[in-house]
Chains A and B, each alone.
Chain A
Amino acid sequence: MARNKIKRVSTILFLVFFLTGCKDAVNEVFNQGQYTDSDFLANYYSYYPEELRKNVYSTNETIIDIDVSDKTYSFLGGEAKEKALIPDYQEGLISKKELKEKFGIDLDENTVEEVLNNQLQRVSWYDYSKYYNLSDSNYGDSKINDSFKRGYFSKMTDGLINCFGFGAIARIQTDENGFGVLFKHELVEYTSFFVSLRGATNIDEGPTYNSDLEFRVSFYIEESASMQPSKVTFKMDLNEIYTDGSGNSNVIYFRLKDVLTQQQLPLLKRTTGFSFSFTLKEHVLLCPGGVVNTDTDYKFALMLYELMLPHSKWR
């Protein structure tokens, strides 16, 4: 009898210590105030998961140059209607009901042409991101949503696409080497790409200048029975992006089938990780004429607000 009790108690204790070993929610903890410091230089985030540093990805990399000169918008720009919502509706990704309830677009009363021509009816990217960010878009599976909500990277999946007074809380500040993230789920369906960002410096007086940079987003595909590990990198030249104007951010949005070939389209399937990096190409004070100004201690950073893959499916 006593032996049974001891067994039971030790089983319970074992379970407690076994459970204690997982600590899922505290895998990634930070000191209070870390990355939200008043000192600009203390806020650079540069974490890369070890997995993403493996050479095997770099040796099997596909680099795709994407011209985004006509795909870059202001976060409050009203293009979301014509660039995203109506094409999404025409592809059956969103319903008439959804259009009406979320954006006030009534396709029972108006034709698609009338809606597109109605200049008074604008849908900003800010409105769009409220509904199609990664945290909220997989309505059917709360586990997938929750995985986008956990961790530092959740700053880029929460639908906040500009500062809006939140300051450092809203964004990820990174240097040219960038950072990476690995997910527990893999991307299986995708239609479009959305990123919101701006530039920033620690120059605290004088006029502000926009900047040009080469921005790179890499998608990591893990090894599987049928596939080698690989990496697909989108390389984009961003010109005249908002810099040091904390209220503004640039949105880059494109439909993948518009920029990728039929052969390239399936390459992103089974993506489980991302990384972001950039090269500053032009800034009046820090990189005049494309040459790094070594006479100044001022630093440049990229402020990333949001990554969205609207209507994507993960498993």
Chain B
Amino acid sequence: MSKMDATGKKPVIDKEKYEANIKLVILFVSLELLAFVAMNLGNYMIIFNIISILLVLASLPILIKILKVEQNFELLIYAIPLLFYFLLILLGPTYKVAPENLGQHPDYIFMGRSIFKLLESIGGLISFFLLAYIIRRTDGFKHKYVPYMILGGFALLVSVSLIATLYNYGAFYRLIYQNMLNYYAGKPYLVAKQSSYLLGFNIATVDSKALVNIALFLASSLVTLLFIKEKNNRKQILILSGLGLIGILTIALLPDFTALVFLIPSFAFALLYKYDQLKTKWFKITALSILGLVGLSIIVGLFCAFGNQTVINLLSSNGFTRKIFLNSKVLVYYQVIRDSFVKGAFFGVPFTYPVNEFPLSTGITVKDAFPTGNFLMDALREVGWIGFLSLLIFVVFSVKVVINYLDKSEDPKHIKTLFVSLLIMIFVRYFFFYPHALYSFTSEFWSINYFPLIESHVFTIVIFLLGYMYLPNSIFKQNKLPLKEENKHNDKKEEVYEWQEIK
């Protein structure tokens, strides 16, 4: 029954009914959208981004209500670095269209994105974060479908691509045709480097790493098997790990067994979390030691980047340090760091400068130094130090969000493990094999599809997951935690908290 207003008249729009209906629509469409994004259906991220923006606009009343209840200023602090990174992308030169007078030159990199395209990508990312934030806090939403949608989308993409790959190349082709090549568009192309991939509604010939990437994300869901003894969740665990098997099967049939190394961080985390080792003294000491080593490596790396001969000679004298600090991949990072300190490179390397006015600091051309295959280094080249630090701060804040989620979320342990393992896998993969040119079959300048982070469907999933995991401290303060206990089947009971649901 619709309510009457003060004058006794029936309002044109019943606010409560509107919110209830819109909530249902948002929940349903968001779930669908999530699966479509995961499988990059039709390569239509533009449509998914626009739909997500519209969904957020339609659910503004609900969002405002949530923010009021939660008094969530932390969200703003969390979002500021990411928003700043986005702002610099909008203003910086790298993403723009090349000025006509430059033509095509290997020393210039322009991604050629219009302002509308950039706004759509950035708006889409923000909207997916907010959608996850909203739906996590609404009653009636079946949270358990989120992992199915994400992994189901990945699984569909991988399955279709695997079938096409088997059809075109046969099983174990990377071994059978090792060191052999075929020709595509007139260019010799190593068979072991290729695979078929569902791109848009076509099966494209791509770098096999593109398929392995998604297969690995999928395979990370096998961590749920560690929780198979939990009787209540067994069915869900079996389905999720079944999807993970598709990933493993794909890697095995290509095969690309070395890629399995990338599963180690995810499985290490899952084991540590399952056996409650993350808060032990030894783990903290180990983690701090590793962080210390990373910090030291960065300092040493900076010395190398600026050509300190003493450090370089010292590192060269030892095979191990030479492999770590002076390999071809890291040399490119040094080039990026050096170039970022050149005058005028504050907001990214100024590609608009004529070559002679902006000589590169070494013989490595822009084309060879960008993209680097590391999403953070690429950010440094694209948007300069401020943008790079903004993205880095966002990553650090996100680690805090993940820790908060692990500590305080009411999600079952296997789901928490699944999501965090997936994020770890994506981070590791994007740190080493950021897929900037996976969809092109040659390395020629005009063939590189730069695939910037903001247009990646995987990055959209990451942002969604972070929105889903995000728990502001304010809600716990308000609700005087703990609100409830869960995981009664665990030997060691864990305090978990829930937020006030917005009805």
Q: Report the separation of the CA atoms of residues A32 and B185 in the bound assembly, to the nearest whole angstrom.
A: 17
Q: Interface residues, chain A, CB within 8 Å of chain B?
A: 16, 19-26, 28-32, 36, 135, 142, 149-158, 160, 169-170
Tell me how far the C-beta of A303 lies from the nearest C-beta in chain B, rounded to whole angstroms.
Answer: 14
- Is A154 in contact with B194, judged by CB distance below 8 angstroms? no
User: Which of A19, A25, A155, A160 has the largest count of B CB atoms less than 10 A from its CB?
Assistant: A25
Q: Report the separation of the CA atoms of residues A31 and B196 in the bound assembly, to the nearest whole angstrom.
A: 21
- Is A26 in contact with B181, judged by CB distance below 8 angstroms? no
Q: Report the separation of the CA atoms of residues A160 and B442 in the bound assembly, to the nearest whole angstrom.
A: 15
Given contacts A156-B186, A170-B186, 14 further A-B contacts (CB under 8 A): A16-B253, A23-B170, A25-B169, A26-B169, A26-B191, A28-B182, A28-B183, A32-B179, A32-B188, A151-B183, A154-B185, A155-B186, A160-B186, A169-B186
> What residues of chain B lie closer than 8 Å to A26, measured between beta carbons?
168-170, 173, 177, 182, 191
Tell me how far the C-beta of A137 lies from the nearest C-beta in chain B, rounded to whole angstroms.
Answer: 14
With beta carbons under 8 angstroms apart, the residue of B163, B167, B182 that contacts A29 is: B182
Q: Interface residues, chain B, CB within 8 Å of chain A?
A: 163, 166-171, 173, 177, 179-188, 190-191, 194, 196, 202, 205, 253
Closest residue on chain A to residue B201 by CB atoms: A142
Closest residue on chain B to residue A22 by CB atoms: B167
Tell me how far the C-beta of B247 lies from the nearest C-beta in chain A, rounded to whole angstroms.
Answer: 16
Tell me how far the C-beta of B453 lies from the nearest C-beta in chain A, rounded to whole angstroms.
Answer: 28
- A-B residue pairs in contact (CB < 8 Å), sample of 6: A19-B163, A19-B167, A26-B170, A30-B180, A158-B185, A169-B186
- Is B168 in contact with A25, judged by CB distance below 8 angstroms? yes
- Is B186 in contact with A158, judged by CB distance below 8 angstroms? yes
- Is A150 in contact with B173, judged by CB distance below 8 angstroms? no
- Is B180 in contact with A32, judged by CB distance below 8 angstroms? yes
Task: Assess A31 versus B180: contact at CB under 8 Å? Given A19-B163, A25-B194, A26-B191.
Answer: yes
Tell me how far the C-beta of A109 lies from the nearest C-beta in chain B, rounded to whole angstroms.
Answer: 19
Shortest 8 CB-CB distances between A and B: which pairs? A158-B186, A25-B168, A19-B166, A155-B186, A149-B185, A23-B170, A20-B170, A29-B180
Q: Report the separation of the CA atoms of residues A28 and B163 in the bound assembly, to the nearest whole angstrom.
A: 20
- Is A29 in contact with B181, judged by CB distance below 8 angstroms? yes
> What residues of chain A lie closer than 8 Å to B190, measured between beta carbons?
32
User: Which of A23, A28, A152, A157 has the largest count of B CB atoms less than 10 A from its CB?
Assistant: A23
> What residues of chain A lie closer than 8 Å to B188, measured between beta carbons?
30, 32, 36, 169
> What residues of chain B lie closer than 8 Å to A135, measured between beta carbons?
185-186
- Is A23 in contact with B168, judged by CB distance below 8 angstroms? yes
Task: Assess A150 versus B169: contact at CB under 8 Å? Given A29-B191, A32-B190.
Answer: no
Closest residue on chain A to residue B182 by CB atoms: A29
With beta carbons under 8 angstroms apart, the residue of B180, B181, B183, B253 that contacts A150 is: B183
Task: Assess A142 versus B181: contact at CB under 8 Å? Given A23-B170, A24-B167.
Answer: no
- Is B166 in contact with A154, judged by CB distance below 8 angstroms? no
Closest residue on chain A to residue B178 by CB atoms: A32
Q: Report the separation of the CA atoms of residues A28 and B191 in the bound assembly, to the nearest whole angstrom.
A: 11
User: Which of B170, B182, B185, B196 has the largest count of A CB atoms less than 10 A from its CB?
Assistant: B185
> What residues of chain B lie closer than 8 Å to A153, measured between beta carbons?
183
Q: Report the separation of the CA atoms of residues A228 and B445 in the bound assembly, to the nearest whole angstrom.
A: 47
Task: Assess A25 versus B185: contact at CB under 8 Å? Given A16-B171, A31-B180, A32-B190.
Answer: no
> What residues of chain A lie closer than 8 Å to B169, measured between beta carbons?
23, 25-26
> What residues of chain B lie closer than 8 Å to A21, measured between beta carbons?
170
> What residues of chain B lie closer than 8 Å to A152, measured between beta carbons?
183
Q: Report the separation of the CA atoms of residues A24 and B191 in the bound assembly, to the nearest whole angstrom.
A: 12
Tell me how far the C-beta of A190 lies from the nearest C-beta in chain B, rounded to whole angstroms.
Answer: 22
- Is A31 in contact with B182, judged by CB distance below 8 angstroms? no
Task: Assess A25 versus B182: contact at CB under 8 Å? Given A19-B167, A142-B202.
Answer: yes
Tell me how far the C-beta of A78 lies from the nearest C-beta in chain B, rounded to whole angstroms.
Answer: 20
Closest residue on chain B to residue A152 by CB atoms: B183
Q: Report the separation of the CA atoms of residues A26 and B173 in the bound assembly, to the nearest whole angstrom.
A: 9
> What residues of chain B lie closer than 8 Å to A16, measured between beta carbons?
166, 171, 253
Tell me how far the C-beta of A128 lies from the nearest C-beta in chain B, rounded to whole angstroms.
Answer: 17
Q: Report the separation of the CA atoms of residues A237 and B401 in the bound assembly, to the nearest whole angstrom.
A: 76
Closest residue on chain B to residue A143 by CB atoms: B202
Tell me how far the C-beta of A196 lies from the nearest C-beta in chain B, rounded to whole angstroms.
Answer: 13
Tell me how far the C-beta of B401 lies from the nearest C-beta in chain A, rounded to whole angstroms.
Answer: 40
Task: Assess A31 versus B179: contact at CB under 8 Å? Given A25-B169, A142-B202.
Answer: yes
Q: Report the separation of the CA atoms of residues A283 and B328 in the bound assembly, to the nearest whole angstrom.
A: 48
- Is B163 in contact with A151, judged by CB distance below 8 angstroms? no
> What residues of chain B lie closer than 8 Å to A20, measured between beta carbons?
166, 170-171
Q: Report the separation of the CA atoms of residues A88 and B258 in the bound assembly, to the nearest whole angstrom.
A: 54
Tell me how far the C-beta of A147 lies from the nearest C-beta in chain B, rounded to whole angstroms.
Answer: 12
> What residues of chain A lie closer than 8 Å to B205, measured between beta carbons?
25
> What residues of chain B lie closer than 8 Å to A150, measured between beta carbons?
182-184
> What residues of chain A lie closer than 8 Å to B180, measured between beta carbons?
29-32
Closest residue on chain B to residue A29 by CB atoms: B180
Q: Report the separation of the CA atoms of residues A23 and B191 in the bound assembly, to the nearest whole angstrom.
A: 12
> What residues of chain A lie closer than 8 Å to B183, measured between beta carbons?
28, 30, 150-155
Closest residue on chain A to residue B441 by CB atoms: A149
Q: Report the separation of the CA atoms of residues A21 and B170 in the bound assembly, to the nearest whole angstrom.
A: 7
Closest residue on chain B to residue A158 by CB atoms: B186
Q: Report the separation of the CA atoms of residues A21 and B166 in the bound assembly, to the nearest whole angstrom.
A: 8
Q: Report the separation of the CA atoms of residues A157 and B187 in the bound assembly, to the nearest whole angstrom.
A: 11
Tell me how far the C-beta of B255 lies from the nearest C-beta in chain A, rounded to whole angstroms.
Answer: 13
User: Which of B167, B177, B183 has the largest count of A CB atoms less than 10 A from its CB?
Assistant: B183
Q: Report the separation of the CA atoms of residues A30 and B184 in the bound assembly, to the nearest whole angstrom.
A: 12
Closest residue on chain B to residue A136 by CB atoms: B185
User: Which of B181, B194, B202 has the largest count of A CB atoms less than 10 A from its CB?
Assistant: B181
Tell me how far the C-beta of B98 lies from the nearest C-beta in chain A, rounded to whole angstroms.
Answer: 17
- Is A169 in contact with B187, judged by CB distance below 8 angstroms? yes
> What residues of chain A lie closer than 8 Å to B196, measured between beta carbons?
25
Tell me how far the C-beta of A195 lies from the nearest C-beta in chain B, rounded to whole angstroms.
Answer: 15
Closest residue on chain A to residue B188 by CB atoms: A169
Closest residue on chain B to residue A25 by CB atoms: B168
User: Which of A20, A156, A170 has the largest count of B CB atoms less than 10 A from its CB?
Assistant: A20
Q: Report the separation of the CA atoms of residues A29 and B189 in the bound assembly, to the nearest whole angstrom.
A: 10
Task: Assess A149 versus B184: contact at CB under 8 Å? Given A16-B166, A25-B194, A32-B179.
Answer: yes
Q: Report the separation of the CA atoms of residues A21 and B113 in the bound assembly, to the nearest whole angstrom.
A: 42
Q: Report the separation of the CA atoms of residues A209 and B166 in the bound assembly, to the nearest whole angstrom.
A: 50
- Is B187 in contact with A24, judged by CB distance below 8 angstroms? no
Q: Report the separation of the CA atoms of residues A285 and B318 in the bound assembly, to the nearest whole angstrom.
A: 57
> What residues of chain A lie closer than 8 Å to B171, measured between beta carbons?
16, 20
> What residues of chain B lie closer than 8 Å to A24, measured between beta carbons?
167-168
